[in-house]
A and B are shown apart, each in its own frame.
Chain A
Amino acid sequence: GDSVTQMEGPVTLSEEAFLTINCTYTATGYPSLFWYVQYPGEGLQLLLKATKADDKGSNKGFEATYRKETTSFHLEKGSVQVSDSAVYFCALSVNQGAQKLVFGQGTRLTINP
């Protein structure tokens, strides 16, 4: 079946550090890939997405590239801020008549000043 595996947390970094959160997937068909972010006490918000191989999604300094050959969609940011502290979810979407979003387990990120 379709599944997403992402780097286990929690991840703790200092402000201005480089961030990578790994994400790999298995899917039947050709999925679209997403990163969602959940701030404390809130719902999930779309951070970025990519819909075909080699596409790069980017937003708020975060980037991820759809790598079909390695079935990966790693999230990166060059210089993190305290306000980036949140839980990050990698997800894939497959259209099987209706669209369905499958999530990874989430990675909790804490940025210390």
Chain B
Amino acid sequence: DAGVIQSPRHEVTEMGQEVTLRCKPISGHNSLFWYRQTMMRGLELLIYFNNNVPIDDSGMPEDRFSAKMPNASFSTLKIQPSEPRDSAVYFCASTRTASGNTIYFGEGSWLTVV
């Protein structure tokens, strides 16, 4: 079975540009998560969806960040406008909601904003 698929794997962009990160969760999974990883702050949960509905976006750093899940097999995380401090690895993860179920991670999108 295919795992969580993220694109792009690597992106370098200029400050002020819009960045869109994409995620395809594992088929049959109904919860999807976006995490950000930096050296300074470690792994932070940005937002998570259950059955395509955003449940908790309290981790989204500011209005420049937005996330959508238009259907069960696709989600996007958008940064507009991007800033150098947004440089990080962004992970998407998914699971079938139930206590103790494993959450599976994609390989990450490595974003550099210059």
Task: State whether B45 touches A95 (Cβ < 8 A).
Answer: no
What are the residues of chain B within 8 A of A98 when measuring CB–CB? 31, 48-50, 55, 97
Alpha-carbon distance A97/B100, docked complex (angstroms)? 13
Asked if A73 is an interface residue, CB under 8 A from chain B, the answer is: no
Q: A43-B91, A44-B105 are in contact. Are A99 and B43 (CB under 8 A)?
A: no
What are the residues of chain A within 8 A of B95 when measuring CB–CB? 99
Task: State whether A106 touches B31 (Cβ < 8 A).
Answer: no
Alpha-carbon distance A103/B103, docked complex (angstroms)? 12
What are the residues of chain A within 8 A of B31 when measuring CB–CB? 98-99
Asked if A49 is an interface residue, CB under 8 A from chain B, the answer is: yes
Task: State whether B99 touches A95 (Cβ < 8 A).
Answer: yes
Task: State whether B100 touches A101 (Cβ < 8 A).
Answer: no
Interface residues of B in 54-110 (CB under 8 A from A): 55-56, 91, 93, 95, 97-108
Alpha-carbon distance A32/B108, docked complex (angstroms)? 24
What are the residues of chain A within 8 A of B43 when measuring CB–CB? 89, 103, 106
Asked if A45 is an interface residue, CB under 8 A from chain B, the answer is: yes
Asked if A68 is an interface residue, CB under 8 A from chain B, the answer is: no
Interface bits A41-55 vs B (CB < 8 Å: 1, else 0): 011111001010000
8 contacting pairs across A/B (C-beta < 8 A): A42-B107, A51-B100, A93-B100, A98-B31, A99-B98, A101-B45, A101-B93, A103-B42
